[in-house]
Amino acid sequence: MNLFFASIIELASAVGLSNSTFLSYIDARGVLPNVETAVKIAKYLGVTVEYLVESEKINLPQSQDQKEKAKLMNAYEKLSNHDKSMLVKIANAMSE
């Protein structure tokens, strides 16, 4: 998959990371993945690990909608199972 078309949610899922963990790699916190994770990310994006290191940050262009989805997923992951269930019910009711 091309770097410019990967979304945070898709990439995080594909390499087995939570969205919040992946976001910590690309935001101002400057957290670095371990080597195994860096290799998985590079492979998914079709680039080398060296490319990721040189670019210092994975800059994925995002639409406003993608940014909002990422924020929602990050918040969702912090909820208890009960609250997640309630949120899904609310979202389903709102979308009907």
Q: Please indicate whether residue 66 or residue 51 has the higher confidence score (pLDDT).
A: 51
For range 84-89, the mean pLDDT: 86
pLDDT per position as a tens digit, 10-24: 888 889 998 888 888
Q: Which of 69, 67, 75 is nearest to 26 (CA)?
A: 67
Mean pLDDT over residues 19-37, rounded? 80
- Which residues, 6 or more positions from 10, have their beta carbon under 8 angstroms from its beta carbon? 1
**Percentage of residues in the chain with pLDDT exceeding 90?**
2
